[in-house]
Amino acid sequence: MSAATLYIIATPIGNLEDMTYRAVRILGEVDLVAAEDTRHSLKLLTHFGISKSMTSYFDHNQQFKGERILNMLRQGKSVALISDAGTPCISDPGYQLVRDAVAEGIPVIPVPGACAAVAALSASGLPSDNFTFAGFPPSRQGKRRSFLKEMAKLPGTLVLYEAPHRLEETLRDMLEVLGERHVVVARELTKIYEELIRGSVSQVLETVSQGKVRGEIVILIEPGEKIEPESLSLEETLQTLMRDDALSLKDAAKKAAEITGVSRSEAYSAALKLRDEA
């Protein structure tokens, strides 16, 4: 066990069998465990037979708790950061602590494991070579639609977290802003009621609107089609350039060759032909 080290430890997102051996070992060895909710994490540690000194580290006490944790690290102690479920810092507190530790040259070591976004993506059947994880979309409709418009410009699969009571409205906005695409709603992963609802946005919306969808949710939506700029043929380009004698035949041929990539002589012959046919 290295002293003065901050360990970022992933914990299960439901199924306790997803706890890693390494996570159990390191949690048992560190001097302090910083947890999002100490009562919640106490159950996890107890399940694995770990009894450890704990402190809370959550959204609203990050600043002052962060300083206390950094002090421990400065004194050469080792600290493990865990969140309620999954990987700390992924839509969970931790980033500021990591940033500050890195700035002070304190080693920060990840102990990987469950992460809902990655678990959902891996079973989605959607392209995974390029994806954007964008956390929770804004809860207000106007902001959510603007957010989705920005997301529409990005290539790759879009992965979002969403609260169950907002699922339907978010899917409706997706249909409106991103159009009809393949979508996967991954619910309660690794738990008893695990479910992956797949289909077009309208199909999934129909399923979702039939009953109350409960539990924890990841929404994944396939990438939009790449829209290639429409390219004009050589003849169409020449016609546009020669319309109303805006350019001389020679200049129009030169420009058309540049635009379409054909040789100047080919463009010139085509321009002559067009003039003769006119």
Residues that bind ligand SAM (CB under 6 A): 13-14, 83, 85-87, 90-92, 115-117, 161-162, 186-191, 216-218
**18: three-class secondary structure by DSSP:** helix
Query: Residue 98 or residue 253: which is nearer to ligand SAM going by CB?
Result: 98
Structure tokens at 271: 């321009």
Output the smallest distance, CB 66 to ligand SAM, in A.
Answer: 18
Query: Residue 91 or residue 240: which is nearer to ligand SAM going by CB?
Result: 91
Alpha helix (H) ranges present in the chain? Answer: 21-29, 38-47, 62-74, 95-103, 116-124, 141-152, 167-178, 201-210, 234-242, 249-260, 264-277
User: What 8-state DSSP symbol labels residue 192?
Assistant: T
Output the smallest distance, CB 244 to ligand SAM, in A.
Answer: 59
- Is-contact 82 27, C-beta < 8 A? yes
Output the smallest distance, CB 241 to ligand SAM, in A.
Answer: 54
| Residue 82, H or E segment | strand 79-82
Output the smallest distance, CB 237 to ligand SAM, in A.
Answer: 50
Query: Residue 24 or residue 242: which is nearer to ligand SAM going by CB?
Result: 24
Query: Residue 119 or residue 234: which is nearer to ligand SAM going by CB?
Result: 119
The residue with its CB nearest to ligand SAM is 86
Output the smallest distance, CB 55 to ligand SAM, in A.
Answer: 19
Query: Residue 100 or residue 216: which is nearer to ligand SAM going by CB?
Result: 216
- Is-contact 166 208, C-beta < 8 A? no
**190: three-class secondary structure by DSSP:** coil
